[in-house]
Amino acid sequence: MVIDILRKHTRDWHILHTISKPVIRKILKYVADSYKPIIERKDKEGFVNPEMKIFYDEWTELIDMQTDQWTGPEDKNCIMYHQLRDIMCCILDEDSHYLLRFFYLIEMIYRDKEKYRLSMHKSRAYWHNEDEKKKLHDIMNWPAVFDTVKGKAMKKGYKWKGGLP
């Protein structure tokens, strides 16, 4: 099962991670840099919509919960999360059309939370199958993957916190 999933998604993974992500990161940087004065103003004067301050703080809390997974403050995933937060919060705070629909989407997700929970557990069930985990381990060569990622991080001067990246 895992092998089939990997084969099916290898091309998609390549397109997403090696082609699309670098382009998306550059676009996010451009937009986030242009929004920087707006976020700074909102930090000083407050958000137009008070619920956006709550959303901004909760997104920041989510980002902070993941810092142990990143190699430092200059980690590209850490930067991307901050940029996404700033862009979303600026757009939603300044445009009530999008704000109302976004919070309606959150209400819909909350309404259907059990469907999401079941779907998430079902799609991840193969991780609890020892035979499938062994197949994945064998084909992925995890020690080599780990050493490669650790080596890249160490070369960039990051301190390794231990564990898998």
Q: What is the pLDDT of residues 2-33, one digit of tens each?
A: 555 555 566 677 777 778 888 999 999 999 99
- Say what the pLDDT of residue 30 is: 96
98, 120, 146: which is the final residue of a domain?
98
Residue 10, domain member (yes or no): yes
State the total domains in the chain: 2
Residue 31, domain member (yes or no): yes
| Alpha-carbon span 102 to 40, nearest angstrom | 23
**Is the pTM here over 0.85, yes or no?**
no
* Contacts for 12 with CB less than 8 Å, ≥ 6 apart: none
Q: Which of 66, 83, 75 is nearest to 24 (CA)?
A: 83
Residue 74, domain member (yes or no): yes
According to DSSP, residue 15 is labeled: I
The string of DSSP letters for 95-136 reads: -HHHHHHHHHHHHHHHHTHHHHHHHHHHHTGGGG-HHHHHHH
| Alpha-carbon span 78 to 67, nearest angstrom | 7
165 pLDDT band, cuts 50/70/90, is: very low
The pair of three-digit structure tokens given for residue 137, joined into one six-digit string: 């381990």
